[in-house]
Structure 1
């Protein structure tokens, strides 16, 4: 299991209007890598909607050799990586993020959770 680290501050986070849906294509389009990216984005956004407060903001940044996904909401409660019981329907979202992401963490105030994913199919 990886250790989460704080969000690097100093970057502006402008508020944007919410959209109903969007699609982003990334290279390479290897299906395993693409599924990891989609699952990770969906888990972070779902957690913000279910457990956060207020509006939810999604930021996706393409950086050299990696994709950075950040989700911000109004809650100051930091997400917790936990082990769900066998019978529970939920509680595994951050486990998926932890497994797929190169690294992940939260902002100091708990409002933003972020992760980085490799843009190479082999995860290097």
Structure 2
């Protein structure tokens, strides 16, 4: 009886490897960069970064701290946003975890995952 060798990741077509790696959470990519030089170079490639970012979740929870040292939360959905400006009425108001008081957000700008909220 003949035994088959297991399929190694290196035996997969490169475009399939790219597709798989583009779906790996960003928090895990750092550890995977030590797997081999080719993957390390890939994770620094602008095309791969763009593809990975395009697949990333477009909703996040933002925690903010004001002058009163309280923590505020806001859910933001960035799906379909292609410029660096977000229309505040399309988002939820900033709300204190422990208070019903709400704050209006007048402008929201985003760039590379960072948000600037002007209240």
Structure holding more helix per residue: 2
TM-score (norm 1): 0.24
Which of structures 1 and 2 has the larger relative contact order (alpha carbons within 8 angstroms, sep 6+)? 1
- The two structures have a TM-score, normalised by structure 2, of 0.24
Q: Report which of the two structures shows the higher radius of gyration computed on alpha carbons.
A: 2
